[in-house]
Structure 1
Amino acid sequence: MPGQDAGTPRVFLYRHGQTEWSQNGRYTGVTELDLTPTGRKQVSASGKMIVGSGKLIDPANIARVYISPRKRAMQTFDIAFDDSDKQALQGKDKVTQKEERLAEWGYGLYEGLVTKEIRALRKERGLDAERPWDIWRDGCEEGESAQDVTDRLDSLIREIRASHKDNMHGENPSDIVLVAHGHLLRAFTKRWLGYPMEFPLLLMLEPGAVGVLSYQHHNIDEPALLVGYGFPVDEEE
């Protein structure tokens, strides 16, 4: 890993590729959808560029891959990692499939709707008279609240930090890969940084894209968002 942060553990946030509903802006929680052909191409393109030996996500540096239980996330992992890397990781028991803490936000009554439909539905039910619905503050009727999501993500973050605390200078492979969903991974980022869900931190993560979290100064108590990252270089060139 290049630069002064060489060896500092990282968490890679790998969002699944496009589905029919993500293309249309529909909230997709428990509904099982396949990646679209475009979604498969998105993941293949990012995987070829950044996943593999000597690349940004190097299987040799990975401590664990956590995958959401939804089919679209599992398809993303299958496409992003080549067969030999998947076999090596699974052979060393480094892949956690169907990790419920990474399931997308439970949207309840709002499953399959777009934002304007949700706000219209809530208005009909006498809600949000003073301000429009915001999932980060208001959660979802018959689904998950912001606190529900906070609790399960905080549990995962504690687990990840426990694995990182004795590896802040690259003592052992310690990178983590999370293969999951748009809302969920943005929620994870807020909690990684210690912000409540309603904190107005606007984040974007495109289908098939990868974000990176780490720590400042090799310090477990200074979790950080890597706004920009230098790619590995060949020191022999």
Structure 2
Amino acid sequence: MAKLFLVRHGQSLWNLENRFTGLHDVDLTPLGIAEAKHAGYLLSEESLQIAFTSRLNRAQHTLNIILDVTGNAEIPIIIDPALNERGYGKLEGLNKEETAILYGEEQVWQWRRSYHSRPPGGESLQDTFERVVPYFINFILPQLQLGRNVLIVAHGNSLRALIMHLEKLSVSAIIDREIPTGIPSCYRFMMDASFLQVPIVFPRESKNSFSP
């Protein structure tokens, strides 16, 4: 049975500065590069046949590092904006703590964590779900049905939307779901077309060479 691997990109420059990033195309920090290398190490004993990522540099950079570390640099890579991060509209570039002072903590919490609420000029998690999941069903799922192991490197909210679909989570259940940077998760594609989250088989030898 095929496996689906999900990785959120490594720490970005605006993650470090606690800014709303959204569709702004920032790159990885030294820590983010180290996280990507470590993710590659954690996946080094897994077989990968095809990879999907967004159009944003932080995701593509993370993917390229993972594929280099795992020795899979030659596998097909599909880049599509459907996997982009959720757009934060007018909030992009703003510091999150300062934004909470400006608009109020409750309002900013609703924009960040709720399913339906849109920030000014941006997308809700529902909007993100409605572009990520159809893309997954139409383009990624067929690869799994062919028995190919798939790696997706994307973003916190595009992956939250996909996980909501894979795990059949409710609107209330997805609110508290956190996606850490650079930590792979794995789902096995089952014969009944469902997905079962399974642990990744970690490499036998410990390595400590991925510090920034």
Please give the range of the TM-score, normalised by the shorter of the 2 chains: 0.7 to 0.9
- Please show how residues 75-90 of structure 1 align to structure 2 within 5 Å: 75-82=61-68, 85-87=72-74, 89=75
- Say if 1:190 and 1:196, in contact at 8 Å, map to a contact too: yes
The answer to whether the aligner puts 1:106 opposite 2:92 as a matched pair is: no
Name the residue aligned to 1:193: 167
The answer to whether the aligner puts 1:16 opposite 2:9 as a matched pair is: yes
- CA separation of 1:155 and 1:210: change in aligned 2, threshold 3 A: same
Name the residue aligned to 2:209: none
1:63-108: per-residue Cα shift (whole Å, max 9, x none)? x211111111111122111286213x1xxxx2112x1011000000
Name the residue aligned to 1:179: 153
- Say if 2:129 and 2:158, in contact at 8 Å, map to a contact too: no
- CA separation of 1:188 and 1:200: change in aligned 2, threshold 3 A: closer
Name the residue aligned to 2:208: none
**Matched AA of 1:86:** A
Matched position secondary structure for 1:179:
strand
CA distance in 1, matches of 2:136, 2:171: 15
Name the residue aligned to 1:133: 110
Q: Over aligned residue pairs, what C-alpha RMSD do you find?
A: 2.8
Task: Give TM-score scaled by structure 1 length.
Answer: 0.72
CA distance in 1, matches of 2:53, 2:174: 27
**Matched AA of 1:45:** H
- Please show how residues 200-215 of structure 1 align to structure 2 within 5 Å: 200=174, 202-215=176-189
Residue 32 of structure 1, aligned match among 14, 19, 25: 25
Seq. identity, %: 25
Name the residue aligned to 1:142: 121
CA distance in 2, matches of 1:139, 1:198: 16
**How many equivalent residue pairs?**
200
* Structure 2 unaligned blocks of 5 or more: 205-212
The answer to whether the aligner puts 1:161 opposite 2:161 as a matched pair is: no
- Please show how residues 31-70 of structure 1 align to structure 2 within 5 Å: 31-51=24-44, 55-56=45-46, 58-59=47-48, 62=49, 64-70=50-56
1:103-150: per-residue Cα shift (whole Å, max 9, x none)? 0000001112344444444449xx95xx95243331221011233211
The answer to whether the aligner puts 1:223 opposite 2:200 as a matched pair is: no
- Say if 2:42 and 2:202, in contact at 8 Å, map to a contact too: no
- Say if 1:11 and 1:175, in contact at 8 Å, map to a contact too: yes
